[in-house]
Amino acid sequence: MARTITTLAVVAGLLLTLALPIYPEGLEPSILAFLGLAALAGTFGLAQRSARYELAIMAPWAAAILLGILVGSIHNGESQQAVEDALPYALFVLGLVAGRGIGSPRLALRIGLWVCIADTIVSLVLMESFAPGMRSTFTYFKITAGLPLVGLYLAAVLRETASGPARQRGHWLLHAAIVLVLVAGILFSVSRGMLLGWLLGLAVATYVRKPSQALLAVTLVLLGMLLWSSAFAEFGAEYLRLGQEETITGRFREVESAWEGFVASPMFGEGLGALVEVDGFRKAFVHNMAAYHLWKFGLVGCVLLALPLVAISRELRRHPRRLRALAIGAASGVLGYLVTCAAYKTYYLVWIYGVVIGASLTYFAELARAKAAAAPAEPPVIR
């Protein structure tokens, strides 16, 4: 019963994210409903032992948050902002626990994929034109959350683990169409960080799976860029904003201000609720996840935040290389993107990350059990 409720709450929460604002102004009814579903899924997910195990693994995060709030109060940080700063971490844990306690992990992953596809299609449909200089972010800023990166991972996992009719030629065409839409969403967002994350994730996944293929692919790409350097330069200037440094220089100023706060208090940072002044504006975040965490948590807090993620990644060791490659590649791509933007503060995105990670681990475990059950029993040894 608990697993069914968890599954229903997760599916409803995933679908609701399509209607949520990326920058909320107060607790709107849709946001309250989303928070309620996240709490419901996490609570019933704890009925499973695997979910309780993941919650225990995440215990250092609780210490980091409490320490961050304490340090922030010492540095006269804003209490309301401290709560907002802590919310993404709580939502990630709720999503992770829900994903580990879910009854139908493949269903959750499929719903997550279609949510990513829908988000991408909306961003493309709302574009006024596809001419150079146009970006989907002009008319649909929610695409900056980076869901196409999540969708590419989900499409790859579902395709890799498909069996029977799902591996027929028609389904190959559907998979190719899905990948094409998601890649188009990345390209037409003209987000250099998202493009970097996609390429980084692809390279890491290929290397983990087959290092020789990764080396060959990198060699061919570099050779192609050398032969057609002028064409690539023109494409980059027209479509990828290469040479346009206004946004980058502004973000560097943010990072410099955050770095100054970290240098002033390197061990514990300036705490949750801290604000930084950039170009006359007081900001609670910067467009760089690494700088943000050093600024607010310091070295001690960053270590506490990193420990559970290392423990979760070690759970992949018992699963096949092809699945490990997809998971590690996706994680690398997402981290590569988050280092260049402020999407790590997007409340519904971090919950989706937690759900996807938890549901993936649950799904991989189910596949391992099914494989073990289908394996022929070893004959008894006669002595």
What pLDDT score does 226 carry? 47
Cβ neighbours for 194, distance < 8 A, ≥ 6 positions apart: 144, 146, 148, 149, 186, 337, 341
What pLDDT score does 248 carry? 65
| DSSP conformation letters of 87-109 | HHHHHHHHHHHHHHT-S-HHHHH
In sequence order, what E strands does 249-361 have? Answer: 276-278, 281-283
Token pair of 334 as six digits: 């997402």
Q: How many CB atoms lie within 10 A of CB 37?
A: 23
Question: Helix crossing, 169-189 with 105-125: angle to 10°?
Answer: 50
Any idea which residue has 């990072």 for tokens?
255
Instruction: Show pLDDT as tens, one digit a residue, over the chain (383 residues).
Output: 888 999 999 999 999 999 988 877 777 888 999 999 999 999 999 999 999 999 999 999 999 999 999 999 998 888 888 898 899 999 999 999 999 999 999 999 999 999 999 999 999 988 887 776 677 777 888 888 889 999 999 999 999 888 765 555 567 888 889 999 999 988 888 777 888 888 888 888 888 887 766 565 666 555 554 444 444 444 455 445 555 555 567 677 888 888 888 888 899 989 898 888 877 778 887 888 888 899 999 999 999 999 999 999 888 888 888 999 999 999 999 998 888 877 778 888 999 999 999 999 999 998 888 877 776 655 555 55
What pLDDT score does 71 carry? 92
Beta bridge partners of 122: none
Give how far the C-alpha of residue 281 lies from the chain's centroid of Cα atoms, to the nearest Å: 28
What pLDDT score does 212 carry? 61
What pLDDT score does 308 carry? 93
The residue among 233, 249, 240, 231 whose CA lies nearest residue 199 is 240
Q: Around 4, how many Cα atoms within 13 Å sit in the side-chain half-sphere?
A: 1
Report the alpha-carbon distance of residue 36 to residue 40 in Å, rounded. 6
What distance, in Å, lies between the first and last C-alpha atoms of the chain? 48
Beta bridge partners of 307: none
What pLDDT score does 242 carry? 52
Q: Residue 57 gets which letter from DSSP?
A: H
What pLDDT score does 228 carry? 47
The residue among 94, 17, 106 whose CA lies nearest residue 58 is 94
Report the alpha-carbon distance of residue 121 to residue 17 in Å, rounded. 15
Give how far the C-alpha of residue 168 lies from the chain's centroid of Cα atoms, to the nearest Å: 30
What pLDDT score does 235 carry? 47
Token pair of 20 as six digits: 């949520």
